[in-house]
DNA sequence: CGACTGGTTGAGTGGTCTCAAGTCCTGTGG
DNA sequence: CCACAGGACTTGAGACCACTCAACCAGTCG
């Protein structure tokens, strides 16, 4: 039901086994994630009921408070995971790129989603059914260690970010956001420049940085004026990534605002 | 080596098996944590090299950047886990109470500690050796699912807190800290009052809240003037927990206070 | 053409920080 | 017993960063 919220059901859904098998292939052979290391037997278990689906830009994959029906794998495209503050202000907590899994925390803890996932551009996402996934998790030797490690990494990331948000002023947080975007979606160009290959609105950059829209606009304009970044349509090119790294790591109040 | 940093080695260490067996009992039979559900065989594996140790107040259990030698279990006492910002400002990321495990994330991810653990009062802490723990993790059927769930809970906690810190003003963050302290260390008194049974300095409350010392002082004085809390020596009594919950606007899980 | 969305810039406000000057408390040594 | 040092805590004054509010511009879509 979650799947059908944003997209009409695939026109092929009713055609039975042949199409079903087609979905299975999409959800396994084109995937870059951990599941490609599963044994044939485990793959079979996992793929029961799996479905691949296309989403337009700005479509909701799952929503905070909903009960999960399975786990998602981002095959192509980009997705943001955000939480809604009680004043309506969104805070992006994570970015996903192809190969990333989505919604596994809710499945593993048996809770409802505590964040919302929305596509940043048109994306292909695979959905593995909850029972199939949990069954595979139990019989597989690689899956539990993988998720243990992955959760550890997520936790470290979240706690590092916590520190950043508490202690860093807006300027450093926006610089840190650009660094984060380089890591997630960056493509290296000539002479050390990096293209952030994602079309993010100013509001989304603000929501990543934990600042208000106008502040993000002003700081980006300032970065541009200083020739650290440039704008190419809706995309950002980083001219001086070392400067951004320096700013984002510098402690509060030592930065001069020339 | 970490263990011997704060406390001299136990005078009984050299006495061989008998004392060794004594440590084992302390590290298992008096523990409240997940390990009590292990089978005898698994317990045996886990307890190889385990040691119980007493720490005075304000002693470091492990330090950010160090390489872990094992996993810790807090038997009695209280411990804070904090990260150091690059301006020297500390940020407390978690509080531990008896039964909690410490340092498992570093072990599970194979990284160095990325936070420091320090006792808030004199505590008894058990240390299980890394190799013993990892071996037990592999042979046990309950341990991996337990840690998966636990990491999920930690991650949820960290992301919820991230949102709080970004979006909430100082007043709400300090109120949220008091709610957090009630959940961690609260003891119910008559007429719905709650004693926060921990001697925290104003600085520590500030570090929990992500505000500066003076701001924490001012806001606590304000809460006291409004008769929401009172001070009993270095401990805090919450007179009106509903008011604090309202102010902090937190989605606290309203746990029962012992 | 107007409505609308996304972006930009200006002005003013206020919350939180810094700095500084105290006060209270506790332990120590004379 | 007092004197005193040093730490924790408290309070005041001022600065400043980031927020809100508001106006405006540039596209785009109907």
- Name the percent of chain B lying above pLDDT 70: 86
What pLDDT is stored for residue A181 in this prediction?
A: 97
What pLDDT is stored for residue B86 in this prediction?
A: 80
Task: Decide if B105 touches A, using CB distance below 8 A.
Answer: yes
Tens digit of each residue's pLDDT (9 = 90 or more) over B50-97: 999 999 999 999 999 999 999 999 999 999 999 998 888 999 999 999
The per-residue pLDDT of chain B, averaged, comes to 88
Query: What 3 state SS string does A59-123 have?
Result: CEEECCCCCCCEEEEEEECCEEEEEECCCCCEEEEEEECCCCEECHHHHHHCCCCCCEEEECCCE
**For strand A51-55 and strand A60-62, is the pairing parallel, antiparallel, or unpaired?**
unpaired
Residue B60 near residue B116 (C-beta atoms within 8 A): yes
Question: Looking at residues A73-82, what average pLDDT do you find?
Answer: 96
Q: Which nucleotides of C are covered by protein (CB under 7 A)?
A: 6-11, 15-20
> Residue B186's beta-bridge partner residues?
B196
* Helix A143-167 / helix B143-167 crossing angle, nearest 10 deg: 20
What pLDDT is stored for residue A190 in this prediction?
A: 86
Of A64-68, A133-137, B6-10, the least confident: B6-10
Confidence of residue B190 (pLDDT cuts 50, 70, 90): confident
Confidence of residue B30 (pLDDT cuts 50, 70, 90): low
Q: What are the distances in angstroms from CA A87 to CA A215, A240, B52, B224?
A: 18, 35, 47, 27
pLDDT value at B9 more than 50? no
Tell which residue, A256, A245, A247, A230, has the closest CA to residue A172.
Answer: A247
pLDDT value at A18 more than 60? no
What pLDDT is stored for residue B231 in this prediction?
A: 95
**Nucleotide in closest CA–C1' contact with A200:** C6
A243 Cβ neighbours under 8 A, 6+ residues apart: A226, A228
pLDDT value at B178 more than 60? yes
Longest dimension (CA), chain B: 59
Confidence of residue A10 (pLDDT cuts 50, 70, 90): very low
pLDDT value at A159 more than 70? yes
Confidence of residue A20 (pLDDT cuts 50, 70, 90): very low
> From the CA of B191, how many Å to the nearest CA of chain A?
31
Q: What are the distances in angstroms from CA B212 to CA A51, B171, B203?
A: 51, 12, 8
Phi then psi for A79, rounded to 5 degrees? -135, 140
- Name the percent of chain A lying above pLDDT 90: 79
pLDDT value at B253 more than 90? no
Contact call for B91 and A144, based on CB within 8 A = no
- How far the first Cα of chain B sits from its last, in Å, is 36
With a 7 Å cutoff on the CB, does A148 touch strand C?
no
Question: Looking at residues A173-195, what average pLDDT do you find?
Answer: 95
With a 7 Å cutoff on the CB, does B199 touch strand C?
no
The DSSP line for A120-167 is SS-EEEEEEEHHHHHHHHHH-SSHHHHHHHHHHHHHHHHHHHHHHHHH
User: What is d(CA A11, CA A15) in angstroms, rounded to the nearest whole number?
Assistant: 9
pLDDT value at A22 more than 70? no
Confidence of residue B28 (pLDDT cuts 50, 70, 90): confident
Of A183-187, A252-256, B88-92, the least confident: A252-256
**What residue of B is the nearest CA neighbor of A155?**
B155
Q: From edge to edge, which strands make up the β-sheet containing A51-55?
A: A51-55, A123-129, A70-76, A101-102
What pLDDT is stored for residue A79 in this prediction?
A: 97
- Name the percent of chain B lying above pLDDT 90: 79
Compute the count of residue pairs across chains A and B with CB atoms less than 8 Å apart: 109
The spacing between the Cα labelled CA in A206 and the C1' in D26, in angstroms, equals 21
Q: Three-state DSSP class for A54?
A: strand
What pLDDT is stored for residue A24 in this prediction?
A: 62
Of A111-120, B16-25, B69-78, B209-218, the least confident: B16-25
Token pair in block for residue B186: 């609260």
Q: Three-state DSSP class for A231?
A: strand
Query: What 3 state SS string does B175-208 have?
Result: HHHHHHHHHHHEEECHHHCEEECCCCCHHHHHHH
User: What is d(CA A202, CA A223) in angstroms, rounded to the nearest whole number?
Assistant: 14
Tens digit of each residue's pLDDT (9 = 90 or more) over B104-157: 999 999 999 999 999 999 999 999 999 999 999 999 999 999 999 999 999 999
Its pTM stands at 0.88
Phi then psi for A60, rounded to 5 degrees? -85, 130
Question: Looking at residues A171-188, what average pLDDT do you find?
Answer: 96
Tens digit of each residue's pLDDT (9 = 90 or more) over A204-250: 999 999 999 999 999 999 999 999 999 999 999 999 999 999 999 74
Contact call for A105 and B152, based on CB within 8 A = yes
Task: Decide if B141 touches A, using CB distance below 8 A.
Answer: no
pLDDT value at B47 more than 50? yes
Tell which residue, A215, A220, A213, has the closest CA to residue A196.
Answer: A220
With a 7 Å cutoff on the CB, does B214 touch strand D?
yes
Nearest by CB to A109, from B144, B153, B159: name it. B153
The spacing between the Cα labelled CA in A198 and the C1' in C4, in angstroms, equals 24
Contact call for B148 and A145, based on CB within 8 A = no
Query: What 3 state SS string does chain B have?
Result: CCHHHHCCCCCCHHHCHHHHHHHHHHHHCCCCCHHHHCCHHHHHHHHCCCEEEEECCCCEEECCCCCCCEEEEEEECCEEEEEECCCCCEEEEEEECCCCEECHHHHHHCCCCCCEEEECCCEEEEEEEHHHHHHHHHHCCCHHHHHHHHHHHHHHHHHHHHHHHHHCCHHHHHHHHHHHHHHHHEEECHHHCEEECCCCCHHHHHHHHCCCHHHHHHHHHHHHHCCCEEEECCEEEECCHHHHHHHHCCCCCCCCCC
Question: Looking at residues B12-36, what average pLDDT do you find?
Answer: 61
CA atoms within 13 A on the CB side of A254: 11
What pLDDT is stored for residue B20 in this prediction?
A: 46
User: What is d(CA A216, CA A201) in angstroms, rounded to the nearest whole number?
Assistant: 10
User: What is d(CA A62, CA A2) in angstroms, rounded to the nearest whole number?
Assistant: 7
What pLDDT is stored for residue B19 in this prediction?
A: 44
Cβ neighbour number for residue B5 with a 10 Å cutoff: 12
Nearest by CB to A148, from B111, B148, B158: name it. B148
> Residue B83's beta-bridge partner residues?
B91
A218 Cβ neighbours under 8 A, 6+ residues apart: none
The residue of B151, B216, B247 whose CB has the most chain A CBs within 10 angstroms, and thus the best one to mutate to test that interface, is B151
The spacing between the Cα labelled CA in B83 and the C1' in C6, in angstroms, equals 39
Contact call for A108 and B147, based on CB within 8 A = no
Token pair in block for residue A134: 């949990």
Residue A132 near residue B129 (C-beta atoms within 8 A): no
Phi then psi for A26, rounded to 5 degrees? -60, -40
Token pair in block for residue B70: 């094992």
């Amino acid at each position: 039901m979650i799947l059908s919220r944003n997209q009409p059901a695939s026109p092929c859904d009713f055609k039975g086994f042949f199409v079903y098998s087609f979905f299975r292939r999409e959800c396994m052979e084109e995937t870059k994630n951990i599941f490609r290391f599963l044994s044939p037997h485990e793959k079979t278990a996992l793929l029961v009921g799996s479905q691949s689906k296309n989403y337009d830009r700005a479509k909701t994959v799952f929503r905070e408070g909903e009960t999960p029906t399975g786990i998602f794998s981002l095959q192509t495209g980009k997705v943001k995971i955000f939480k809604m503050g009680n004043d309506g202000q969104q805070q992006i907590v994570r970015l996903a790129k192809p190969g990333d899994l989505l919604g596994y925390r809710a499945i593993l803890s048996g809770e409802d989603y505590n964040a919302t996932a929305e596509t940043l551009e048109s994306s292909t996402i695979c959905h593995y059914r909850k029972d199939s996934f949990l069954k595979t998790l139990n019989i597989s030797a690689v899956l539990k260690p993988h998720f243990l490690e992955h959760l550890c990494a997520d936790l470290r990331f979240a706690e590092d970010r916590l520190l950043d948000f508490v202690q860093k002023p807006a300027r450093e947080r926006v610089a840190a956001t650009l660094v984060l975007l380089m890591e997630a979606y960056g493509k290296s160009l000539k002479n050390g420049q990096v293209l952030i290959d994602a079309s993010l609105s100013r509001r989304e950059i603000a929501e990543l940085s934990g600042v208000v829209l106008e502040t993000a606009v002003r700081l980006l304009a300032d970065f541009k004026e200083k020739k650290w970044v440039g704008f190419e349509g809706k995309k950002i090119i980083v001219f001086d990534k070392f400067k951004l790294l320096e700013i984002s790591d510098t402690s509060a109040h030592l930065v001069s605002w020339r």
